[in-house]
Amino acid sequence: MKKLNNKVAIVTGAGAGMGKAITLLFMQEGCKVIAADINAARLVDLVKEASDLKEYLTTVVADMSIEADIEKMTALAISTYGTLDILVNNAGVMDQFAPVGELDNLTWEKVMAVNVDGPFKAMRSALKIFLPKSSGVIINISSIGGLQGARAGAAYTTSKHALIGLTKNTGYMYATLGIRCNAIAPGAVNTSIRETIDFTKISSLVNERIMPGMVLNPRSGEPNEIAKAALFLATDDASFVNGTVLTVDGGWIAY
């Protein structure tokens, strides 16, 4: 029996990388997915790749920094499939590894809008569906940057710490109401988020303080390895796992 039969999920940032892997794996396990992404072309590619499972897939172009797009995404789950069971907040953006003294307002605000405000608003929207039926699962894709201080710049690091705090508070507050909320903290993973980093603009301070630790990473992960962790958290196999962070990093932070 498939692990997510008759379930309905929203996955943000679903057009590439971890979001795409999560979407495809969830569909393979019988889940109907609203796949949201800011990049329409990537959603077209996702549909092509998921052709054998197209009856399980609905795509929507959505910007997680725009609340109307988030509400549209949730409404689409209801209008298309009648309910929502799982929310995966995967969409995210990086910074340029900039420390506070080198960080501009625009980068700070963009990272916070997508990495923190977006998940918060999506969770709030999903809870309107989860609470009346006393059932629902939220999975927030954080980062080991949310556990450590030198895996990214000040903006990204702050945003992922905040997302973990939001996860813990939500998991605890709604634990008696049939709702679970957990985070995954991936290490380095081979995804398109690296395309958002211009390594030619990395400062000498970053090269001195952060980059030496990067070589301690045992290896980079693949998106499907994160998807399998998300599948576990989405199913009843994780029924007693709530308000916590599952680190999936190949042992990097164990050093």
Catalytic residue, from 56, 81, 156, 174: name it. Answer: 156
DSSP state, residue 189: B
Task: Output phi, psi for 151, to 5 deg.
Answer: -105, -5
CB-based burial label for 94 (10 Å; 0-12, 13-18, 19+): buried
Neighbouring C-beta atoms of residue 55, cutoff 10 Å: 9
Q: Helix, strand, coil: what percent of the chain each, to 5? A: 55, 15, 30
Helix H or strand E encompassing 58:
strand 57-61
User: What's the CA gap between 170 and 47, in Å, rounded?
Assistant: 33
User: Which ranges constitute the DSSP H helices of 199-254?
Assistant: 204-209, 211-214, 223-234
Using CB atoms within 10 Å of the CB of residue 236, give its burial: 0 to 12 exposed, 13 to 18 middle, 19+ buried. Answer: exposed
Active site residue 81: no
Name the residues annotated as catalytic.
156
